Amino acid sequence: MNVRLCKFDALVVAVVAAGAIASGWILGDSFLARLNYFAATFRVSPQFLTAAVAPGANSAEFFLEPGIGDVAVGSTLMVSLYVPSTVNITSLKAYLNFDPALLSVISIDTSSSVFDYNAIEKSFDNTTGRIQLQQAEPAPGNQGTGGSSPLAAVITFQVKAAGIAQVTYDTANVLALRGDDTDALPSGGCAKTNHANCAGSYTLFVPDITAPAASISINGGASTATSASVTLTLSCTDASGVKDVRYSNDGVFDTETFEPFAASKAWTLTSGNGTKFVNYECRDNSANQNTIIVSDNIVLDSIAPSRSGGSPSGTLSAGTSSSTLSLTTDEVATCKYSESAGTGYDAMTNTFSGSGTALHSIQITGLSEGNSYSYFVRCADALDNKNGSDFPIDFSIALAPTPTPTPTPTPTPTPTATPTPTGTPGPTDSPTPTPTPTSTPTATPTPTPSLDTIAPSRSSGSPSGTLSGSSTDASLEIITDENASCRYSESSDVSYDSMSRAFSVTGSTLHRADVAVSSGNSYHFYIRCKDAAGNSNASDYPIEFNVDASSGQDVSSSSVGGGGGGGGGGGGDYIPAPTPTATPNPGGGGSVSGDCNNDGKVNVFDLSMLLSRWKQDVSTCDLNGDAKISILDFSIMLSHWTKL
C-alpha cells in the first residue's frame, strides 16, 4: 500500500478512530480510508480551530487547540496546550478541569514540550476531572509569538457520553513566570478568565452507525412472470435520510453504481426461464451502507409448452372410422387443434381433454378408407404462453383390398344327333361318337399397380422439453413410415425443395442430424420429408426444445417426442453421425433381435417404430415372424433392451 502523508498546518488535534498520528502527521491512506467515518464522528465547524491567542506586551497566555468541535461518543479527542508569549518564560503551571461524566483522560504527552523540564508535575484524576501540569526552562526561558506558539502538552481524552464538555483552567492555579519570577499571565487575560478564545468547549454526540432499513418486491410480490421486463417496488428509510441506492441481478456489487433512490424502478431480469433474483442496497446520509443484501425473487416463464409424442401416425388399418388424437407437453397446458395449418391458438375451436395436465387426447370420428388426415395442434400454459407454430399429427387410413372376380365358364354346346334314314334294312351302322367339348381357359387378371400419392408420415421427433445447461450439441431425430429423405429449417413454412439443411442420417425410416446448442436458449426446427415417389410433406413437423440457463443443471428433458414449444432458436454445426452397419436378422430388426432401425442398439427409437406399426400386417419389427406386430414382438424387444 502506498502511504501518503498529509499535514494539517493548523490542526494539531484530531479525532482518532484508526490510524497513527506522530508529530502532527497523519497517515494519509488510513485517514482517507476512514474519511466517511471521520465525517460521522467529528463534525468540523468554521470555528473548529481557535486562532492563536496573541498576548499583550511583556505577557503570556494559555490556549487550547481545538477550542470547539463536535465529537462522536466512543471516539478520542486530542487537545494541545500552547503558551504564546512576548517575553521569555522560565516556568508554567496549568491546572485544568473537565466533566468526568463526559470525558476521561487517556494520556498526557509532554515529550514535544518546549520546556526542558516538562514533567515536574504531570497527573490527572478521572474521578474529580482534574489535570495538573508544571514545567520549567533554564534562563533566559522561552518566548513564542505569532505562528511559533510553544507547545506544552498534548492531552488525549476518551469521549464517554453525549453532552457539552468544557475543558477550563483552574484560574487560581495558572502561572507563566518570567525570569524574575513574576507572572506574565494578565489578571484579566484569557487564562485567568476562561475566555472562550483559550478554553475548550466540545459538543459530544452519538454517531449514526445504523444502516438504513430497505425492502424490495418484484411485480408487486408476484410469484411468476412471463416477461423479463419487471417493475421493482422499493423502500429505504433512515433517520439521517437516504443518500443513494444500487441494484444487482447476480448479488455481487462490483461494477454497479449508486443512483438516487426511487420508490419504483423498471428492471430487466437475466434471460432464460427459471428463478430470478434482484438484489438491492441503499445507504444513508451518514455514509452507512447495508451490510446484508436485500433481495426478492420471481419465477420467469416466457416459453410456450413443448409438445411431443403425437399419435396416431403412419397408416391405420382399413376399416378404421375413428381414432384418438393424443400428445404430451412438458408442463401443465391446454391444447387445441385445427384441420387448417397456420391457425392461431385463440382461433382454434377444438380443445383436447386433459386441460390442466401434461397428457392430452381427443376422439375423432368420420374417418374413411384411402384418405389422409392432418391435425395441427397448439398449446398454452398456465401463464398463457402460446405456441406460435403448428405441431402436426398426420396419418392415413389404408384401402381394403379389392376382391379378384371369379371368371364365368363358357357353356358346353349340346351335340345334335344324326337321324336314322328309313329304307331297306342293312347292316347296322356304328353310332357316331359324341365330341367332348373343350372348356374355355380361365383368364388371369392383370394386377393394377398401386400409385403412391401420400407423403411420408412423421412421428417420434426428439429432443423435446428442457436439456441440461451443460449441453453443447443435440441430435435431431425423427421416424417416417416409409423410406424417405428428410430436411430441416429454422424457419417455418419453408418448402422441402427450398430447405438447405439435410439430415446427416436419412434415406430410410430413421433420420438424424446433430446441431450445436448453448445454455439459456430455445430452439425451433421444422422438418419435411420426401419419399421415393416424390411425395413431399406440405406442412412442418416441429422439433422444439430449450437448454437450461443454469449450466450443468438438468431441469427436465424427454428423449422421445414430437417437438417442443418455446422461444426462438438457433441452428448449429452439423456433425455427421455414423451410419449403422449391423446386418438384419431374420426375426425382424438388426443383428440384435429388436433392433428395428439397424443402429446396433435396442432402444426407444426401435420402440417408436414398433408402436407406429402396432397390429399391422408388416414385416418391419415383426420379431417373432408371424407377420403381425403384437405384444409378442413387444416382449421380445424388451428382453433385448440396450442399457444406455
From the list 372, 260, 232, 239, the residue with the least C-alpha distance to 316 is: 372
71 falls in which pLDDT band (50, 70, 90)?
very high
| 551: its cell numbers | 449450466
The answer, yes or no, to whether residue 37 has pLDDT greater than 80, is no
Asked if residues 278 and 228 have their Cβ atoms less than 8 Å apart, the reply is: no
- Residue 434: CB partners within 8 Å, gap ≥ 6? 415
pLDDT at position 602, please? Answer: 85
Instruction: Please give the CATH number for the structural domain made up of 5-205.
Output: 2.60.40.680
The answer, yes or no, to whether residue 276 has pLDDT greater than 50, is yes
Cβ atoms < 10 Å from Cβ of 232: 19
Q: What is the mean pLDDT of the chain?
A: 80
Please give the CATH superfamily to which domain 213-300 belongs. Answer: Immunoglobulins (2.60.40.10)
pLDDT at position 48, please? Answer: 35
Strands 464-467 and 484-489 turn out to be unpaired
The answer, yes or no, to whether residue 496 has pLDDT greater than 70, is yes
pLDDT at position 36, please? Answer: 40
pLDDT in tens, 452-491: 889 999 999 999 888 888 889 999 999 999 999 999 999 9
Give the residue range(s) of CATH 2.60.40.680 domains in the chain: 5-205
Give the residue range(s) of CATH 2.60.40.10 domains in the chain: 213-300
The answer, yes or no, to whether residue 286 has pLDDT greater than 50, is yes
Asked if residues 304 and 569 have their Cβ atoms less than 8 Å apart, the reply is: no
Asked if residues 73 and 161 have their Cβ atoms less than 8 Å apart, the reply is: yes
The answer, yes or no, to whether residue 420 has pLDDT greater than 70, is no
Between CA 570 and CA 395 the distance in angstroms is 30
Residue type, 255: T
User: Which of 61-70, 420-429, 600-609 has the highest average model confidence (pLDDT)?
Assistant: 61-70
Between CA 467 and CA 469 the distance in angstroms is 6
| 497: its cell numbers | 425443395
Residue type, 148: S
- C-alpha distances out from residue 427 to 420, 424, 430, 434, Å: 12, 10, 9, 21
3-state secondary structure of 29: helix
The answer, yes or no, to whether residue 634 has pLDDT greater than 80, is yes
Looking at the structure, give the CATH architecture of the domain made up of residues 583-644. Orthogonal Bundle (1.10)
Residue type, 183: D
| 433: its cell numbers | 361318337
pLDDT at position 2, please? Answer: 30
Over the range 525-551, which residues count as b (16 or more CB within 10 Å of their CB) and which as e? bbbbbbbeeebbbebbbbbbbbbbbee
pLDDT in tens, 309-333: 999 999 999 999 999 999 999 999 9
- C-alpha distances out from residue 538 to 342, 390, 492, 564, Å: 12, 13, 11, 20
From the list 226, 230, 227, 232, the residue with the least C-alpha distance to 246 is: 232
Beta strands in 343-469 (DSSP E): 350-351, 357-365, 372-381, 391-397, 458-462, 464-467
Cβ atoms < 10 Å from Cβ of 488: 25
- C-alpha distances out from residue 360 to 347, 353, 377, Å: 19, 6, 11
Give the residue range(s) of CATH 1.10.1330.10 domains in the chain: 583-644
Cβ atoms < 10 Å from Cβ of 515: 21
pLDDT at position 161, please? Answer: 95
The answer, yes or no, to whether residue 589 has pLDDT greater than 80, is no
403 compared with 591, residue with greater pLDDT: 403
Between CA 4 and CA 329 the distance in angstroms is 67
- Residue 197: CB partners within 8 Å, gap ≥ 6? 50, 51, 53, 63, 67, 190
Residue written as cell 400386417? Answer: 617
Q: What share of the chain is helix, strand, coil (3-state, %, to 5)?
A: 5, 40, 55
pLDDT at position 621, please? Answer: 81
